[in-house]
Every structure is written in C-alpha cells, then in structure tokens.
C-alpha cells in the first residue's frame, strides 16, 4: 500500500498541512522540521504525487523542451543530446523534470496551446530561432515563461535567449581557410528559415569580402541539417565548371555527408577539397580525416538556457536575460596542411 501524507504526518507528529508545506518548501516551516519530515519521507519511501502537488502549488516542476522538427532530424544529431544534457543537469539540481515535445507544421500550434493552456509545464525551452517564429510570438503574447536556444531575429531585445556569436564563428572559420591560401570557398548552410543559417552565412560573406574575394552565388547552397543534405550539396558543388577548393558547412552531420561525397569521387581531403564545419560533436574527431569544427559548447548552451528560464519562472518581473556562449575553433586534418 502506498505511503500517504497522513502516514508521514503521524510518524513526524505534525499535521498533514505541515507536511504539505514541507513539500512546497514553505518559509513558514522551520529548517529543523523540514529536515525531520524529509528524513521520514526517505525512510518510508514516500514520493509526492506530481498531479496533486501541482494542484496545491500551482507548479508542475516540469520544463518543456519544444522541438518544431520531425523526430529523425532531432535525434539523428548528437548536438541535440549535448543540449539536453546541459538542460538536464540544471533541471535535476533544481528538482525539475524535462518533457520533450515535438511539433511540426499545424501540430506545432496545437501542441504549444495544449502545453500552455493545459498548464502541463512551468516554462518552455525552444531550439533554433526561426525567421517567422510562431512559437516565440505565441508565448510572448501569452506572457508564458520561455527561453530560446538561438538568437531571435525580430525580438532579440525583448525575449530570453542564449546563443553563440554565429556571425563571428563563421567569420573565423572562413578566415581560417583563407589563411591557408583558399580563394574558392563554398558555403553549405541549413534552411534559411533559421536565424543561425542567416548569421553564419553573414559571417562567411564578411570574411570573403574583407579579403577581396568575389562572392559567387553558385557557391552558396541551402540544405537540411542532415548527412544526406551535405552529401548532395557537395556533389552539386563538384559538378560546377570551377568547383571550390574548400567548403564551410554549418553542421558536422553535413560535413560527414561531404566526406562521403568526396570519397565516392576518390578525392583527397584536404588536398582536393578542405572541409570545415560547426558543433564539434564527439564523433568529429574520429572522422576520416578528423574534422575542423567550431565547438559551440552545446552543453553550456543548454545549462545557461535552463538557468535563464528558471530566473524567468521565479522572478517574472526581472529584466530580459540574454547570454552569448564562447565558441572555439578546433583545427584538425580536414583543413590544415594545404596551400592553394
């Protein structure tokens, strides 16, 4: 038979209402009483009923992690696991659970409304800000606590968000190739619906312009953040009359596809084409050859985003919080050691 709040109260010689206040960490209960009641809870193996607790405290102790993409795109990328690891570490430390939800197209609006109006979560984390972002506009209008892992395009001064300086990161990555002697440099980005693609493309163009190199439209490609997307994009670049000697790809998964495309053509990396990318996922160092990649510190993105969201939940009147997480250019054999 399950242990109840009345069993705890009887053993601790307090009222059931006192046990409820201990569960909600009320300031009205002394620290000594809290410790005594919690010790008895542990001894009896008591776990508070989450639904009942949320009714009493008006809090679910749950954070929603909302992903407006299909499952295959989300969980094929190790970058996402690192984000979740960072979120989870802060959530666990603050006694919050994580609810991962997926919504695409028309289901996105339905899912968000269900989460917010049904009070299923205390706050929401969004991944990858989009140019026209229904989720951001909806949550802002609802005055519901949320944070975006990614810089919003139109609301960056009025929305909580955390990101890297993606313009500078792409600039440094492109500059690295230019310093190696490359002048024909392609850019393979994710969908232009995402702000991260726009920012990284801007950084690429900035480096190209500053070094007096002409920007070629046929060197700028848009694809999905998937291995197959990188494969097809590099094949398209290789079929040009004058293909690039180096390519900036905006995700390591894309770069894996690019490596496969070059090997299918029996081309050498970096001698025939140098490759650089983003995210520095754990397998990037084990690629053949190991990938030069921007380490975006994805776990820290998740941690900082969660910390910002908890501030918003606990202090809703506080000023908007934003954070820029430092990145690091990790140079490996997919780019270094060539001169064109």
**186 confidence band (pLDDT: 50, 70, 90):** very high
Residue 14 forms part of a structural domain: yes
Q: What is the CATH number of the domain that holds 78?
A: 3.40.50.2300
Tokens 């919504």 belong to residue: 103
Residue 287 forms part of a structural domain: yes
Residue 49 forms part of a structural domain: no
Co-location of 280 and 197 in the same domain: yes
Residue 155: predicted pLDDT: 73
The Cα 279–Cα 294 span in angstroms is: 6
Per-residue pLDDT tens for 82-101?
A: 999 999 999 999 989 999 88
Residue 247 forms part of a structural domain: yes
Angle at the Cα of 238 (from 167 to 340), degrees rounded to 5? Answer: 70
- CA 235 to chain CA centroid, Å, is 29
Co-location of 31 and 115 in the same domain: no
Residue 335 forms part of a structural domain: no
Co-location of 283 and 140 in the same domain: no
Q: What is the CATH number of the domain that holds 23?
A: 1.10.260.40
Tokens of 118: 């049904």
Residue 74 forms part of a structural domain: yes
Residues of the chain above pLDDT 70, percent:
91
Tokens of 178: 């230019």
The Cα 23–Cα 293 span in angstroms is: 46
Co-location of 148 and 68 in the same domain: yes
Residue 79: predicted pLDDT: 87
The Cα 29–Cα 31 span in angstroms is: 7
Strands 292-295 and 328-330: antiparallel
Co-location of 17 and 78 in the same domain: no
**57 confidence band (pLDDT: 50, 70, 90):** low
Q: For residue 71, is pLDDT > 50?
A: no
Residue 215 forms part of a structural domain: yes
Tokens 């809090």 belong to residue: 59
Q: For residue 148, is pLDDT > 80?
A: yes
- The residue range of the domain holding 18 is 1-42
Co-location of 142 and 185 in the same domain: no
Task: Calculate the dihedral angle through the C-alpha atoms of 148, 153, 154, 157, rounding to the nearest 10 degrees.
Answer: 60
Residue 333 forms part of a structural domain: no
pLDDT, averaged across the chain: 89
Q: For residue 52, is pLDDT > 70?
A: no
Length of the chain in terms of residues written:
340
The Cα 284–Cα 176 span in angstroms is: 18
Co-location of 111 and 144 in the same domain: yes
Co-location of 194 and 264 in the same domain: yes
**337 confidence band (pLDDT: 50, 70, 90):** low
Co-location of 82 and 182 in the same domain: no
Q: Write the Ramachandran bin of 105: left for phi over 0, alpha for psi from -120 to 50, otherwise beta.
A: left
Q: For residue 146, is pLDDT > 50?
A: yes
How many helices (DSSP H) and strands (DSSP E) are in the chain? 13, 12
Largest alpha-carbon pair distance within the chain? 85
Co-location of 210 and 221 in the same domain: yes
Out of 13-22, 84-93, 180-189, 217-226, which region has the weakest mean confidence (pLDDT)? 13-22
Nearest to 301 by CA among 148, 83, 84: 83
Co-location of 144 and 265 in the same domain: no
Co-location of 12 and 110 in the same domain: no
**Among the ranges 10-24, 119-133, 176-190, which has the highest mean pLDDT value?**
176-190
Q: For residue 104, is pLDDT > 70?
A: no
Q: For residue 257, is pLDDT > 50?
A: yes
* Section 201-220 average pLDDT: 97
What is the tally of structural domains in the chain?
Answer: 3
């Amino acid at each position: 038979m399950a242990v109840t709040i009345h069993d705890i109260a009887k053993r601790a010689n307090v009222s059931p209402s006192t046990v409820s206040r201990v569960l909600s960490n009320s300031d009205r209960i002394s620290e000594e009483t809290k410790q005594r009641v919690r010790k008895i809870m542990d001894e009896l193996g008591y776990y508070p009923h989450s639904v009942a607790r949320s009714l009493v405290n008006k809090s679910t102790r749950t954070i929603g992690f909302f992903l407006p993409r299909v499952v295959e795109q989300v969980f094929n990328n190790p970058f996402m696991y690192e984000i979740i690891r960072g979120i989870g570490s802060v959530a666990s430390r603050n006694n919050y659970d994580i609810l991962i939800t997926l919504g695409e197209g028309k289901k996105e609006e339905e899912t968000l409304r269900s989460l917010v109006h049904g009070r299923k979560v205390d706050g929401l984390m969004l991944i990858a800000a989009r140019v026209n972002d229904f989720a951001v506009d909806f949550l802002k209008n609802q005055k519901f606590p949320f944070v975006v892992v990614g810089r919003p395009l139109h609301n960056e001064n009025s929305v909580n968000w955390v990101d890297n300086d993606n313009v500078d990161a792409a600039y440094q990555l492109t500059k690295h190739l230019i310093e190696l002697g490359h002048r024909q440099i392609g850019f393979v980005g994710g969908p232009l619906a995402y702000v991260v693609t726009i920012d990284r493309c801007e950084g690429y163009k900035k480096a190209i312009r500053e070094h007096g190199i002409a920007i070629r439209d046929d060197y700028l490609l848009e694809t999905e953040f998937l291995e197959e997307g990188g494969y097809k994009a590099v094949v398209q670049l290789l079929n040009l009359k004058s293909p690039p000697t180096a390519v900036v790809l905006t995700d390591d998964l894309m770069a894996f596809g690019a490596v496969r495309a070059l090997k299918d053509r029996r081309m050498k990396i970096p001698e025939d084409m140098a490759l650089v990318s983003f995210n520095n996922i754990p397998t990037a160092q084990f690629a053949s050859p190991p990938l030069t990649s921007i380490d975006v510190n994805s776990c820290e993105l998740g941690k900082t985003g969660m910390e910002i969201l908890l501030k918003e939940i606990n202090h809703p009147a506080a000023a908007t919080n934003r954070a820029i997480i430092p990145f690091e250019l990790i140079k490996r054999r997919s780019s270094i050691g060539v001169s064109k």
